[in-house]
Amino acid sequence: MESNQREFSVAFYHFPMYDKEGNYIAPTMHLVQMLNDAFGLDSKEVNAVMDSVGKGYYIGRPDDRSDANFIVRFTKQDAKDVVIKNAFKLKDYQPHGKPISIDHDMTEKQRKEKGKLVAAIKQMKKSGQEAKLYWAGSRTGYLLNYDSTKYMADSDFVKNVLKDADEPRKRKKGQN
């Protein structure tokens, strides 16, 4: 799927396929339950989000048939925004012992780039610098936001942060 087709899509990780008794749960039923229980949305807000669900499908293989990754393509940006904005509330929502996590639906390349950016942010925090991830849209993906400037994963700035993180390890290996 091209990144522009992912614009209104959200990826749900560890999305339950079955209830505690092993019965299949329709994804829309579980999505409504999550919007109510985890996000605390009222019925009007839940209906607005559900009315804009265009398509949903499982991807990959579910581990131990209890959960899987699930993509929801919304027809309206507002509905996607509600879900993404409330994603932090899923931290304690664990219908099967694993928290459900949500992110923008990304290409494989974008997921790898996000991994590099997260590693750079962790390294920067170790040295007392404040940096954050910034979602720049489905075509660009995530950027690193540092000191009011946004950097792509393949920028010299990010490469240098990651290179500086590798230097102590290389020196340590060379001393052995």
Nearest to 158 by CA among 146, 171, 170, 141: 146
Percent of the chain clearing pLDDT 70 (strictly above): 88
Residue 10's alpha-carbon distances to 16, 60, 77, 101, 129, in angstroms, are: 15, 15, 11, 10, 30
More confident residue, 147 or 23: 147
- In the block, tokens 């979602």 appear at 135
CA distance 96 to 98: 6
* pLDDT greater than 50 at residue 55: yes
Q: What's the one-letter identity of residue 87?
A: A
Model pLDDT for residues 67-80, shown as the tens digit of each residue: 788 999 999 999 99
CA distance 64 to 164: 40
Q: How confident is the model at residue 45 (pLDDT cuts 50, 70, 90)?
A: very high
Q: In this predicted structure, what is the pLDDT of residue 66?
A: 62
Q: In this predicted structure, what is the pLDDT of residue 132?
A: 93
* pLDDT greater than 90 at residue 167: no
Tokens at 34, concatenated: 């999550």
**What class does CATH assign to 3-104?**
alpha beta
Boundaries of every domain in the chain: 3-104, 108-175
Phi-psi region of 29 (alpha: psi -120 to 50; beta: other; left: phi over 0): alpha
> HSE-up of 171 (CA within 13 Å, CB side)?
6
Tokens at 169, concatenated: 């390890």
Contact (CB, 8 A) for 6 and 106: yes
